[in-house]
Amino acid sequence: MVRLSLVNLYLHGFTNPKIVEYDTLTSEEKWNEHADIIFANPPFMSPKGGIKPHKRFSVESSRSEVLFVDYIAEHLTPNGRAAVIVPEGIIFQGGKSYKALREMLVEKYLYAVVSLPAGVFNPYSGVKTSILLMDKTLAKRTDKILFAKIENDGFDLGAQRRANTKSELLAIASAIKEYVKCVNDSREFSIDDFTNLVVATKEKIGKNGDWNLSGERYKVYDIRSSIFPKVSLGEIALIQKGTSITKAATIEGKYQVIAGGQQAAYFHDSFNREGETITVSASGAYAGFINFFTIPIFASDCTTIKSNDDEVILTKFLYFFLKSIQDEIYLLQKGMGQPHVYGKDLERIQIPLPSLEMQKEIVAEIEGWQKIIDGARQVIENYKPQIQIDPSWEMVELGEVYNIKYGLAESIPDNIDENGIKIISTAETNIDGNLDLSKIRKIKYFKKYDKFILNPDTLLFNWRNAPKHVGKTVYFNESSDKYIYASFLLALTKKNDQINNLFFWVILNKLREDGYFKRMSRQAVNQTNFNGGELAKVVIPLPSLKVQNKIVEAFLIEQKLVDANKKLITMFEQKITEKIASVWGK
């Protein structure tokens, strides 16, 4: 680890890195040394034979995670700050030392807790973690703690950790910076401007003596009242725990195995669920995830739910209702390293019980709407603009017809300014080639940034990113405001008026989809580079402007149909939401 640390720091510009191998838990040799900033993702494990800590810790414990966090907090200078990744035991474990540690953190050090989804450290570990943010000065200025919940870090939570475009990291980072600014300026912080945030007073956190750091505990929920009688799920449904099974233990049979991740993978012959069945993932990153099956299944690492009397409640109605409260069911997760949702907790869920006839009407309506949604999704997912390349077309290097310029190399989070200029980064470039400006950020504006101001009718090419994303290209055509673009994007402006940018927008995105940029790029561990020089040499077809315009006209008509399907999805998802809400009398 010492060698890895030395190389890592050297590669990040520390030409003379100072690394010390030292047992912080049992040795007092460096106890009196303090730090202005501490970043830590400590190895929260107890070595063989246990720990025999010295007696200078504020909290008495033999647990490594407690002692590490205690050590970090106590070794900050008066103006010191820290960010520490911790396992969930630190957040809510009921032991005496855990409570004492949390009390000390809340009273003296802590200003924010960021909950991360289970699976962010896959494939190495599926453990659920949070980040503790400490600032001794800030903690003295406020009697509140900010809780933030990240549900998506930009990657799927499975073992492969495939990249997606749904990262909430930047939004949460902006919210935390705004909170810090409000505390320092003695202003009230409004959580209404952000999502997945909770602010709780230190008094409320310590009220019952356990000093729990789960933000959901302090969230205020609407109390719903139904116009129909309510019953507990356990009264009207058969709730059974599935039997775990490995692929190696299966035999050829007719029942598809539905595992915790809700994937039918292989077959078995016993412990089946015939007919309509609701499954709830019992453990892992997706604990609490609800799905529905009409085929006979073998439930592995899932809890299954079925109506125990179809004359009282329909299983399909039950599924639609439970799916509508999916977020609340996720809150039932328990456990440190491996989250679980238990059947006994599901049993207590309150279910409104309209008449059987009304249930049938609701199910029929929702199923009809769902078919429309599924059909619209099929159109969206399968549509790709296509261009048939005519062998007679001239082939040219892209640099012959486009000027290529790099974007601004500045940290966006470090320069956020609501009165500044809008900046487009890779976060606004979707994998499908569409530009999403719904969460555009602004940074401090300087005159020298004028050369990065975008003109309408410009292509933006993502030259550096994860391999899957390199080459995604968006079409910028905004004229109502000023925008600049960030460093991982290249701006492509045409050299003459014989170019239709939308034609080449399709060409470049097709090359990415076919894997051209991935194959031809310089590969790093997590980054792929296809720089401006390489892009200028890419050979592309160049038909006449008349041909380009005719092709673009055709796929713009197709795009309107695709956009109409997107609106259909939004419209009918809202209908489903309203129909379920009507059961609650809303």
164 or 537, higher pLDDT: 537
pLDDT for 217 equals 79
- Model confidence at 210, in pLDDT bands (50, 70, 90)? confident
- Grouping H, G, I as helix, E, B as strand and the rest as coil, residue 133 is strand
Interval 101-149: pLDDT, tens: 999 999 999 999 999 987 788 777 777 889 999 999 999 999 999 999 9
pLDDT for 151 equals 85
**What would you report as the CA-atom Rg of the chain, rounded to the nearest whole angstrom?**
28
- Grouping H, G, I as helix, E, B as strand and the rest as coil, residue 80 is strand
- What are the angstrom distances between the C-alpha of 478 and each of 102, 475, 483? 49, 9, 8
In this structure, of 22-31, 366-375, 541-550, the range with the lowest mean pLDDT score is 22-31
pTM over 0.75: no
Q: Is the pLDDT of residue 495 over 80?
A: yes
The token duo for 72 is 């970090």
Q: What is the mean pLDDT of residues 328-343?
A: 76
pLDDT for 524 equals 58
Domains of the chain, each with CATH number or no CATH: 24-218 (3.40.50.150), 230-353 (3.90.220.20), 394-542 (3.90.220.20)
In sequence order, which ranges of 311-440 are alpha helices (DSSP H)?
315-324, 326-330, 343-346, 356-382, 398-401
Q: Please give the Cα distance from 332 to 471 (Å, whole number).
A: 41
Interval 453-485: pLDDT, tens: 999 999 999 999 888 899 999 999 999 899 999
β-strands 230-232, 458-462 pairing: unpaired
Q: How many CB atoms lie within 10 A of CB 105?
A: 24
pLDDT for 429 equals 94
Q: How many CB atoms lie within 10 A of CB 523?
A: 12
3, containing H or E segment: helix 2-11
Angle of the 315-324 helix axis to the 356-382 helix axis, nearest 10? 60
Residue linked to tokens 């309509």: 276
Residue 512: closest CA among 448, 556, 467: 467
513, containing H or E segment: helix 501-513
